Amino acid sequence: MPSPPSVLILFAHPALEKSRVNAVLIEAVRGLPGVTFRDLYEEYPDFDIRVEQEQSLLLEHDIIVLQHPFYWYSSPAILKEYQDLVLQHGWAYGNGGEALTGKTVLQVITTGGRETAYQREGINRFTIRELLVPFEQTARLCGMDYLPPFVAHGSLAMTPEAALKHADDYRRVVEALRDDAVNRDPIREHDRINSEAAMAFVGVRVGG
């Protein structure tokens, strides 16, 4: 059945031609029905983000996906610029800022290091969830539901097959979110939405 576009993917990669995993991931979701794919670096090569246009896109969609490589424990520069400019006070947060209330945010990231590196004992000393706190809090302040992130670890040494597996999972998650077929509450217990345990709650009709 034809559904109105409900998923907005905001994709940020400054050098996609050098990417191995993200390039595969986007192929899995680009063009899906009900999914709007927006390539920020392609859209705004000069960083001149048109705020009104981006705000109306946010208004038109219920699920906002932020997809990007995990650079220096954060996003590539344009996504920061996007947040700074688009999430205006009085619109996204603060007095009268309720435009985004009730929407859902899913962050989709690729990391060079493996999952074991993102632990107390690991080289990065913090978990992914801890390191993503600024994004999570941004979503919360805007009244949005921040789901556990989709993380593709170890992209530096990832085989093509592993990348395809991630791509498949990514498509399933996006479709499930689009169709409101994610059992959110049990998923919240998990570090990432694409862990094997969490994927069990993806693609099942809520209450069905």
Partner 1 sequence: MADDIFVQAFVYLMAAVVAVPIAKRFGLGSVLGYLIAGFIIGPFGLGFVGDEGEDVLHFAEFGVVIMLFVIGLELEAEKLWNLRRSILGLGGLQVLATTVIIGAATLALGYSWQIALAIGLILALSSTAIVLQTFNEKGLMRTEAGQNGFSVLLFQDIAVIPIIALLPLLAVAEATGGDDHADDTLISGLPGYAQALAIVGVVVGLIVVGRFLLRPVFRFIASAGIHEVFTAAALLIVVGIALLMGEVGLSPALGTFLAGVVLADSEYRHELEGDIEPFKGLLLGLFFISVGASIDLDVITGDWLNVTLIVVGLVIAKLAVLYALGVRFGMGFDQSTIFAFSLAQGGEFAFVLFSLAEEGGVLTASLTSPLIAAVAISMAITPLLFLLAEYVLLPKFGTKETENREADTVDEENPVIMAGFGRFGNYVGRLLRANGVGVTVLDNNANHIEVLRKLGIKSFYGDASRMDLLRSAGAADATLVILSMGDVEKQLELVHKIRHEFPGLTILARARDRRAATRLLNAGVEHVYRETLDSGVKMGTDALGMLGFRQHQAVRAGRNFRYHDEYHLREMAEEAGEDHMVPISVARERLELLERTLKSDIEDDGDEERDAGWDTDSLRRDVASRSGPGSEDG
Q: List residues near partner 1 by CB under 8 A.
A: 14-18, 20, 41-43, 45-46, 112, 114-115, 153-159, 162
Q: Which is nearer to partner 1, 144 or 158 (CB)?
A: 158
Rounded to a whole number of angstroms, the minimum distance from the CB of residue 19 to partner 1 is 9
- Closest separation between CB of residue 84 and partner 1, Å? 18
CB nearer to partner 1: give 59 or 156: 156
Q: Judged by CB, which is closer to partner 1: 68, or 178?
A: 68
98 CA to centre of own chain = 21
Nearer to partner 1, 41 or 135 (CB): 41
> Dihedral sign, CA of 93, 178, 71, 56?
negative
Please report how close the Cβ of residue 164 comes to partner 1 at its closest, in angstroms.
13
Closest distance of CB 18 from partner 1, Å: 6
φ/ψ of 4, rounded to 5, equals -65, 150
Residue number, 114 or 140, with CB nearest to partner 1: 114
The full DSSP string for the chain is ------EEEEE--TTGGG-SHHHHHHHHHTT-TTEEEEEHHHH-TT----HHHHHHHHHH-SEEEEEEE-BTTB--HHHHHHHHHHS-BTTTBSTT--TTTT-EEEEEEE-SS-GGGSSTTSTT-S-HHHHTHHHHHHHHHTT-EEPPPEEE--GGG--HHHHHHHHHHHHHHHHHHHTT-B-HHHHTTSS-TTSHHHHTTBTS-TT-
CB of 142 to partner 1, least distance (A): 27
The nearer residue to partner 1, 43 or 179, going by C-beta atoms, is: 43
Smallest separation, CB 168 to partner 1 (Å): 13
